[in-house]
Amino acid sequence: MAYEKIKATASVTVVNETDASMLTGNMLVVKGSKNQLYITGQSNPFSPDWSKSNLVIRPFLQASNITRLDAAGIEYNPDLFDPKEYSNALSFYDYIKDIHWYLRDSAGVETEIHESSDYSFSHTYTINGSTVICNDSRQLVIKKNILSRNSTADIVCKFSFYDPFANIYVSQQLETNLINLASGQSNSKLITTCVNGNTITNNGNTYIDIMAQFYGDSEEENIGAAIEEGSANVSCLWYIRRQDGWTLLDPTTEGQTVANTEAMMYEIMKVSEYDDLTGTYTFEKFEGARGNAGIRIYPALIKGSEVIKCVYTDATGAKYNSIQVVYDVTDDTRVELYCSNGKRLRKGHVENTTIKAVVTYKGTLLQDDSPLYDTEFDYYWYKYTISDDKYVNVFNNSTNDVIENEDLSNPIKGLRTLYVDYLDISSDEKEAEFSLDLVEHEAAAANAAQAMYFSRAITEEDLGVAMLLNEEAGIEDDIEAAIYTAQELNLE
């Protein structure tokens, strides 16, 4: 019988992953603001002027069953629309097909967008220091003020996604809303604009600049000039949404110092220059309790996405609000461990094994000689043995012996590599597992900065209470005095 010749068997489980194919997508603002403002009775928008500062939009799409290998062989899910994934800017390979863009008006009528004086599909990126021009429809550049007064519109991107497991094309649609902020109820409006886009990415913006503009009865009123005139009522304050309400991004010197002690979180800015020809704004740092017309948001303030609110109070005491959502889509840090002698032991022990951590940081695989291994990370090694269910912190001493530390509440830091001169695993134990906790200094500093700042931060409610207390004490309606009173109350 044929069965008599069988000496060993093996099996493998085959999984149909068609149903596990999941897509994650949205629309990213690469540059500019989606909002425009019109004053009642006028046909031209005050801001932003897309003919000078183009609005650039592109989709973001990840598929659970589309992975790539970086130089270390580590798998990740790429953004299928991200230019850095297609540095030659020639194709989407076979995953994205048949891209079409549409403008949907307030009546719901869709008109396809074609290359014209109003729109283009070409934009220049800088990727790893090199200039790349993308012109394959992966993004839309709006070059004209396309909204009309008192109207809104949607930008729609339709395309087909090829699912390699199901072997089918799946129709997809992503969209974003363009808004005219004029309501017809009042001529006075506050708008905020993310002048360099609302997203922090690996190879793009390292911070987000938000600018506030106020339009009175007939023209723009200079917020910075109004604040510097010294009126007690005038202020331009910025808030971030937390679980318990709006928290002030304190504009005072003390507030910004506390926020940025451990890691740079934000800076209050003023507009120092405007180029009317190009629509470009120049900012400089500002410190003063009344705030100013700009804020610079750094990654340390953002966890995924955050809601930022601007509140402008004019000389009459009237308050105006505007909200922006900002995003940090920078790739998470990933680490893989590599054993110099492989993962199998011979005759119960192995000699002279080196376990090394290889890190992919912000989308870039770090080479062995990268200084970031020494300056940006701490390494905490652990060993687990099955037979005695023992989990210990381990590290090398000066002679590279493996030392066990059973006090897991006080782990001892090691190096990027763990040297194992001799590891004895008995027949009863069968396995020993080594693991690594990688501590990223930048991320740790950001967490520490947030914890320090928000533990004593002023909320919008705190400001209201402080203003009432000041009023009872005979102090005029002065936002600067209210901020300092709120600071004192939080220290009690």
Per DSSP, the residues of 213-271 read EEE-SSSEE-HHHHHHTT-SS-EEEEEEEETTEEEE---SHHHHHHHTSSS--EEEEEE
> What is the CB neighbour count within 10 angstroms for residue 145?
19
Residue 204 confidence (pLDDT):
67
**Confidence (pLDDT) at 298:** 94
Contact 201, 57 (CB under 8 A): no
* CB contact set of 214 (below 8 Å; sequence gap of 6+): 188, 189, 190, 220, 221, 223, 312, 314, 320
Residue 137 CA to residue 58 CA, distance in Å, equals 9
- How crowded is residue 147: how many other Cβ atoms within 10 Å of its Cβ? 23
Bridge pairing between strands 168-180 and 35-38: parallel
Computed from CA positions of residues 251, 253, 256, 258, in that sequence, does the dihedral angle turn out positive or negative? negative
**What burial letters (b/e) apply to 249-282, b meaning 16+ CB within 10 Å?**
bbbbeebbebbbebbbbbbbbbbeeeeeeebebe
For residue 87, give the nearest of 121, 122, 133 by alpha carbon. 133
pTM tops 0.75:
no
The per-residue pLDDT for 208 is 93
One pLDDT digit (tens) per residue for the chain, 492 residues? 443 444 343 434 443 444 446 787 888 888 888 877 766 556 667 777 888 888 989 888 888 777 777 766 777 778 888 777 765 544 455 788 889 999 988 778 899 999 999 999 876 766 666 676 766 788 899 998 888 766 778 899 999 888 877 778 888 898 888 877 654 444 557 888 888 888 887 766 789 999 998 887 667 788 999 888 877 778 999 999 887 789 999 998 888 998 998 889 999 999 888 777 776 788 999 988 899 999 999 999 998 889 999 999 888 888 888 888 888 888 788 888 888 776 554 444 556 778 899 998 877 788 888 999 999 999 999 988 777 778 899 999 988 888 999 999 999 999 999 987 765 555 555 567 888 999 998 888 888 888 888 888 888 888 888 888 888 887 776 777 888 888 888 766
**Neighbouring-strand partners of residue 306:** 326
